[in-house]
Structure 1
Amino acid sequence: MARVNYWWNLFTKLTIFWIHARTVGAFNEIWWNLGMSGLDALQNPNLYIVGTKTMCIQLKGLSLGQQKLCGIYSDHMPSIGGGAQMGIRECQYQFRFRRWNCTTIKGDSSVFGPVLQIASREAAFTHAISAAGVVHAISRSCREGELGSCGCSRAMRPKDLNRDFIWGGCGDNIEYGYRFAKAFVDVREREKNHPRHSDALSRMLMNLHNNEAGRRAVYNYAKVACKCHGVSGSCSLKTCWQQLPTFREIGERLKERYDGGVEVKFNKRGTKLKRKHKKYNKPSKEDLIYLQQSPDYCQANKDTGSLGTKGRECNKGSDGMDGCNLMCCGRGYNTFKKTLVERCNCKFVWCCHVKCKTCESVQDIHVCK
């Protein structure tokens, strides 16, 4: 009997350890990883030979719900990976002059490392821009005929469109892109039930809100594009269709939302989030929200995931965040001479090539101490 109890206790401990390891791993891993090394795997035709179910299990960062959607919509996965990659690149562009510059950490399945475990503005932006990337990529893939379950947009004709214009060109299917992105991105957050007033619940609600803000940054700003038809460009006829905003426009819009992010806290029942300071406006569904203040990112810190600003280039003549005073956090900077070699004085030579000279220039480069 004692021997049975020993093995039963050992089994129980191992089970608890396994569940804990799975939980920690699931928290650290995220589907954004598809935008990194995962994208190459998605585009490898040999992966599909072993079966869709096996492929979906092998893809790092997918939650159980996302694995199920992957099994049903396997042809969507390359587009999701492309959307994640767009989001990562746009994040790095928008924050290229900030102390936190959206640096990805090689080999880390959470993509951005421990920094996003803090429920800060940065976490809010990354969730929003990645969700927007999925909407954008899926909507465009529908139009291109790359997905089996959708095609061109079936959006209604805008009421203010000129009556003489023809509506019905093959537009970006933003409606489908929005619905699929909502299902795929949000299922990760909705898979678990969290107790009231818990940190896990507040973070889930924050992520869901910011995911929706990212999707709306695409969906609410669709454009109407038109093309002229007629003899010699007379434009006697116009065909119009629904078109996505450029991803740079989406990134800039979400960056503005980041700058105006709203700090939130639990309501009295501990079931919803509300603004922390009443002097600020209530956050709309397009606003970004956050729970914790950001670290200053001046010094490298493994606990917060901050890489610090030592070695970062700065702009000596700027008073903004890219300026040497703010970027270097008052530590000062070193100046180096850098020789740039560029093509210059280019001329078109008939026929048919461009001939250029090689020019050298010396520039001062300022680097934070």
Structure 2
Amino acid sequence: MWKTHNKLLIYILWIMEIRLVSSFTSAMLCGRIPGLTLPQRQLCGEMPDALIALGEGHQLGAQECQQQFRGHRWNCSEVWQRNVFAHVIPIASREAAFTYAIASAGAAYAVTAACARGNISTCGCDVRHKASPSSDGAPAEPWKWGGCSADVDFGMRYARKFLDARELERDSRTLMNLHNNRAGRTLVKKLLRTDCKCHGVSGSCVMKTCWKSLPPFRLIGDKLMQKYHKAKTVQAVRGKRGLRLVISRKKHGSAGARPPKPALVWPKRMELIYLEASPNYCERSLQSGTLGTAGRLCHRNERGPQSCDLLCCGRGHNTQHIRRSKQCRCQFRWCCQVECELCDESYEEFTCK
């Protein structure tokens, strides 16, 4: 975790330096950031202040990914130790689908938030939410658009330009990444909420001013986790429009009849998709982006992904008896002191072999 934060800090310091120098020097400094493709370096030189928001978005996505997968065999840790803006997870698994989606959502979210704060010179509030919402002759609502509505369309466009620019190949994995990138950033827009403030005498709500705002990022992570569990396996087919990803569903004909060809179904825009089955993530593997489960804390008497039976992959677990002292029975003494006693407690800790 600290390695990732240190990398992000270095990149952000670079970008802060870029903002203070000429465009020529900006291009040179953008070239020093590892893992960027040529189109990404060009975007960096054109809008260096937006790259700070992208770094914040990457950290946001990393923290949420690790939160959602805490206790799972694959806990989204090793993958974020690599170059901040480069590719992650070489295996085209369900976990890769989630990782690309949460990274894209974090990028769109952070850029949108930076626009609203005025940290990016080329964007600000969404000016479209200024007119009355009832312009079709319907009775006027007792509220009006106002405040600073989140310009999520700008955040989505910039996230698409920057993150999709690393997909240089036109193979099935590229199509998978592009699809999951789009699903992640589109979810940010779908989950925008309408906040309102009342105006009137003595707190009455004679008129309300409303604006669009970003939801808590945890909500986006929760929704993507639901999509992770419902992710669809896809395969590549070549047609008139080139290579495309489809979900194959078999149809059964009548007895004795020639079985029909499987119906090709396109994945929905908001679905997460993947090409390969996930490994078991039991052993350390940099290729699959996991540190393994040896030494991980587990729960002996519980069910679920963090139970010792599942997390330890049948290798068993170690039991450690721990005794410690902590403050207890604290009381407030007038005035102004808190006095506590020291209590001993004993408990067992279980770790995978």
Report the equivalent of 2:315: 331
- Say whether the 8 Å CA contact 2:104–2:181 is kept in structure 1: yes
User: Are the aligned partners of 1:105 and 1:112 in contact in 2 as well (CA < 8 Å)?
Assistant: no
Q: Which amino acid aligns with 1:273?
A: L
Structure 1 residue 174: deviation in Å? 1.0
Question: Are positions 1:312 and 2:334 aligned together?
Answer: no
Q: Which residue of 2 aligns with 1:4?
A: none
Name the counterpart of 1:213: 183
- Residue 233 of structure 1: which of 192, 203, 207 is its match? 203
> Is the 1:128–1:215 contact (alpha carbons within 8 Å) kept by the matching residues of 2?
yes
Query: Which 5+ residue runs of structure 2 have no aligned equivalent?
Result: 252-263
Asked if the contact 2:116–2:151 (Cα under 8 Å) also holds between the matched residues in 1, the reply is: yes
Task: Count residues with an aligned counterpart.
Answer: 327
Q: Which residue in 2 is equivalent to 1:154?
A: 127
Question: Which among 151, 159, 162 is matched to residue 181 of structure 1?
Answer: 159
* Post-superposition offset of 1:39: 3.5
Matched, 1:290 2:264: no
Is the 8 Å Cα contact of residues 104 and 111 (structure 1) preserved in structure 2? no
* Structure having the larger proportion of residues in helix: 1
> In structure 1, how many angstroms separate the alpha carbons of the residues matched to 2:100 and 2:178?
9
Q: Aligned in 2, Cα 1:203/1:170: closer, same or farther, shift over 3 Å?
A: same
> For the Cα contact (< 8 Å) 2:19–2:49, is it kept in 1?
no
Given residue 133 of structure 1, which amino acid in structure 2 is its aligned partner?
G
- Stretch moving more, 358-367 or 287-296: 358-367
Q: Distance in 2 between matches of 1:181 and 1:284?
A: 20
Alpha-carbon displacement from aligned partner over 1:261-287 (angstroms, at most 9, x marks no partner): 100001243610101445897521111
Q: Secondary structure at the match of 1:92?
A: helix
The corresponding residue for 2:231 is: 261
The alignment status of 1:247 with 2:220, answered yes or no, reads no
Spell out, residue by residue over 1:13-67, the C-alpha distance to the aligned partner (whole angstroms, 9 max, x if none): xxxxxxxxxxxxxxxxxxxx98760343323544555621122111122111010
Equivalent position of 1:87 in the other structure: 61
Distance 1:343 1:288, change over 3 A: farther
- CA distance in 2: counterparts of 1:219 and 1:73, whole angstroms: 22
Could you tell me which amino acid in structure 1 is paired with residue 158 of structure 2? F
Seen in structure 2, the aligned counterparts of structure 1 residues 322 and 111 have a Cα distance that, compared at 3 Å, is farther
The structure-2 alpha-carbon separation of the partners of 1:48 and 1:34, relative to structure 1 and needing over 3 Å to count, comes to farther
| Aligned ranges 1:126-205 → 2 under 5 Å | 126-156=99-129, 163-189=141-167, 191-192=168-169, 194=170, 201-205=171-175
Partner of 2:212: helix, strand, or coil? strand
Find the aligned partners of 2:118 and 2:85 in 1 and give their Cα distance: 30
Alpha-carbon distance in structure 1 between the residues aligned to 2:329 and 2:148: 42
Cα separation, partners in 2 of 1:52 and 1:328, compared to 1, 3 Å: same
Match of residue 246 from structure 2: 274
Q: Deviations over 1:197-251 (max 9, x none)?
A: xxxx001000000000101111111110112334553344322110112110000
Q: Percent identity?
A: 40
Q: Which residue pairs with 2:257 in the alignment?
A: none
- Give structure 1 stretches of 5+ with no counterpart: 1-32, 195-200
Tell me by how many angstroms 1:322 deviates.
1.0
1:295 Cα deviation after fit: 0.4
TM-score, with normalisation over the residues of structure 2?
0.82
Structure 1 residues 336, 173: closer, same or farther in 2, change over 3 A?
A: same
- Cα displacement (A) at 1:317: 2.4
Letter in 1 for 2:157: R
Matched to 2:317, the amino acid is: Y
2:352 alignment partner AA = C
Deviations 1:131-151 (A, max 9, x none): 000110011111111110111
Distance 2:71 2:139 in 1: 40
* 1:41-60 to 2 correspondences below 5 Å: 41-43=11-13, 45-46=16-17, 48=19, 51-60=25-34
In structure 2, the CA distance between the partners of 1:53 and 1:346, relative to structure 1 (3 Å rule), is farther
**Gap change, CA 1:121 and 1:106, over 3 Å in 2:** closer
Secondary structure of the corresponding residue to residue 210 of structure 2 = strand
TM-aligned CA deviation for residue 340 of structure 1: 5.7
The answer on whether the counterparts of 1:48 and 1:55 sit within 8 Å (CA) in structure 2 is: no
Contact kept, 8 Å, 1:41 with 1:47, in 2: the verdict is no
Structure 1 contact 262–289 (Cα < 8 Å) conserved: yes
Further displaced range: 296-305 or 83-92: 296-305
* Counterpart contact for 2:248–2:265, Cα < 8 Å: no
Aligned pairs (5 A) from 1:334-353: 334-339=318-323
**Aligned-CA RMSD value:** 3.1
C-alpha distance in 2, partners of 1:36/1:251? 24
Measure, in 1, the Cα distance between the counterparts of 2:92 and 2:111: 28
What is the identity, as a one-letter code, of the residue corresponding to 1:365?
Answer: E
| Aligned mates of 2:307, 2:228 — CA distance in 1 | 20
Letter in 2 for 1:91: C
Give the 3-state SS of the residue equivalent to 2:166 in structure 1.
helix
